[in-house]
Amino acid sequence: MTDTYLVAAKRWARGWELHIENVGVTQVASLSKAEAAAREYIAFALDLDDDQAFDVDLVPQLDSALTEQVKSARAQVREAERRQREAAAKQREVARLLGRSGLSGREIAVVLGLTPQRVSQLIGRSSTP
């Protein structure tokens, strides 16, 4: 599992302060450069070779109600992405089981509500009529 670092971006007169949870604080002039700066800072502070080996969750500090909504929305998106990966793995598994049970690729497509081409991708063979 990939580590995720929460970065709270706080506006100030000359740009943004980036408060990186359990790591430290750095600054950027523009919020658009915040993720790259946070990645560089985290990699340096933790002596990591790859600044892409972890996730950064950048949350600009707004009023408290908006900040909570941003955090919640981002958490829901991450959860949806995780569930999508799980669903894809399950779909692949079921397609293979259906194929082993004797169903053709086109029959599997009907059962799973997919195109025959997608079934072919899932089970790694061409669909049969």
- For every residue of 30-80, DSSP letters joined together read -GGGHHHHHHHHHHHHTT-S-TTSSEEEEEE--SHHHHHHHHHHHHHHHHH
pTM summary value: 0.54
Q: What is the mean pLDDT of residues 82-105?
A: 96
- pLDDT for 127 equals 44
Confidence of residue 61 (pLDDT cuts 50, 70, 90): confident
Residue 125 pLDDT: 56
Which of 11-20, 28-37, 58-67, 101-110 comes out lowest in average pLDDT? 58-67
Domain-wise residue ranges, the chain: 1-61
Residue 94 CB partners (closer than 8 Å, separation 6+): 112
By the 8 A CB rule, do 34 and 25 touch? no
Q: Is residue 64 scored above 90 in pLDDT?
A: no
Q: Note the pLDDT of residue 106.
A: 96
Q: What is the mean pLDDT of residues 5-18?
A: 94
| Long-range own/partner contacts, residues 12-21 (CB < 8 A, 24 or more apart) | 16/60, 18/58, 20/45
Residue 119 confidence (pLDDT) above 50: yes
pLDDT at 126: 45
CA 126 to the chain's CA centroid? 31
- Classified as helix, coil or strand, 127 is coil
Encode pLDDT of 27-51 as tens digits: 999 999 999 999 999 999 999 988 8
The dihedrals phi and psi of 7, each to the nearest 5 degrees, come to -120, 110
- Identify residue 119 by its one-letter amino acid code: V
Please tell me the predicted confidence (pLDDT) of residue 71.
Answer: 85
